A and B are shown apart, each in its own frame.
Chain A
Amino acid sequence: MERESGPDPDAGHVPGTGGLHESLQRYRHGSVHTGGPGAFEPGHSLLRKVIPDDVRLPAYIVIVASLVTVTELLIEAYLPSLYEALGIYIPLIVVNCIILGRAEAYANKATPGLAVMDGIGMGLGFTAALTLAGLIREVLGSGTAFGLQVLPKSVEPIAIFVQPPGAFLVFALIIAIMNAIGIKTRQRELVESDGCDGNCAACQIACDHPKIEEKEEEKQ
């Protein structure tokens, strides 16, 4: 997921680091999420004029919880094996920060159509990030990808990657790689996450950059 596009760089990766480690399950969990915001956001968007401002958060949570319950019952009925694998992480989609974050930041201002597209986009980004992390963990941790053997059997898998610490490690490495690429092109992400790094020349570039972006938007 592109970091700037999310409501918060840390948001929403909680189920991503979850107990499931097979990439296929990750992918499916991600798909559940793609359906997720895609369905929730028009709900928020449609009701934005009806719900009083003071109680909007409880109202949003109830909408999300209802839809998650429907999704949970559907998965339980039609995909029992997936239901078993995802376990507690399905009802916990209710408290996924991305959904509430986008409802606050976008869906309560946008038209339902745009909100749907935003939701689908967010869900796809989430699915991609989840699948990537799951794939890396599965290949390194058990030598398979989507359940198929990819590493030769003679290679001993690094079991730590399918265990809880592996989730933190893989996410740390993915973010570090993204940072490294970002630093090469522009120093922006580092400055955002860490304040002044003592490199004034690079910092200047970072400060100028949003202005460049704004100018581009104006042109459009």
Chain B
Amino acid sequence: MTNLLLIIITCALINNVVLNQFLGICSFLGVSKQMKASASLGGAVIFVITIASAVASLLYKYILEPFEITYMKTIVFILVIAALVQIVEMFLKKKSPAVYKALGIYLPLITTNCAVLGVALTNVQNEYTFMESVIAGFGTGVGYTIAIVLLAGIRSRINEEDLPAPLRGAPIVMISAALMSIAFMGFSGLAL
């Protein structure tokens, strides 16, 4: 139990997927204009990452390893993720068209969100058990959501400011991300 708790804190805060490992930057910068869309995307990513980690872990253990085709892991994992994203997309389109519209192109792009594939691959690398993989996936998704929601909050304030012209748009967002990253480095001081 302590082990699982450690994994979740490590994945969400200490080794934050966006601010420390630079995975999932596309949507981190692209969607963080609006708080609501950010939170919805965060939710979708948590769901996809958690399920993808579970499925990937099972596939690796019961199909790839017994047949000694572990080198196929990248191909297998990306297909699992693509299928999952398709399901989430169909679900959101039906249940919550507003959120579906707000997320736009970034929803199908969860497939190419490096965070999702990254977690599936690191789980295998760290030789996590099934439960540990699921928890690591969930923790990473939470970390992603924390980062994107925080950035969305900062951006809504930055928009009001009078900035030097060259810094407007992408540069100031990245500087904000840099400051957030510095703040998150503080978590590595947690004595675990």
Contact = CB atoms under 8 A, between A and B. Distances in A.
Interface of A: 8-11, 13-15, 17-19, 57-58, 61-62, 65-66, 68-69, 72-73, 88, 91-92, 94-97, 100, 160, 163-169, 171-173, 175-177, 179-180, 183, 190, 193-194, 197
A10 B22 CA distance: 13
A69 B64 CA distance: 15
B2 to A, nearest CB: 26
Interface stretch (B4-12, B42-50, B135-143, B165-173): B165-173
B107 interface: no
A8 B106 CA distance: 12
A61 B168 CA distance: 34
A67 to B, nearest CB: 10
B26 A11 contact: yes
Interface residues of B, number: 46
Given A88-B122, A172-B172, A179-B166, A10 B82 contact: no
Interface on chain B toward A: helix, strand, loop, or mixed SS? helix
B118 A92 contact: yes
B174 A88 contact: no
A183 B82 CA distance: 40
Given A13-B25, A92-B114, A69 B72 contact: yes
Indicate the member of B79, B170, B181 with the most A CB atoms within 10 Å: B170
15 contacts: A10-B25, A17-B25, A57-B111, A58-B79, A61-B82, A61-B111, A88-B121, A91-B73, A97-B112, A167-B178, A168-B177, A168-B178, A190-B165, A190-B169, A194-B169
Given A172-B178, A175-B171, A69 B22 contact: no
B175 interface: yes
A193 B25 contact: no
B189 to A, nearest CB: 14
A65 B120 CA distance: 15
A164 B172 CA distance: 17
Contacts of A88: 118, 121-122, 125
Contact of B75 (A11, A57, A66, A172): A66
B90 to A, nearest CB: 14
Contact of B170 (A65, A97, A100, A193): A193
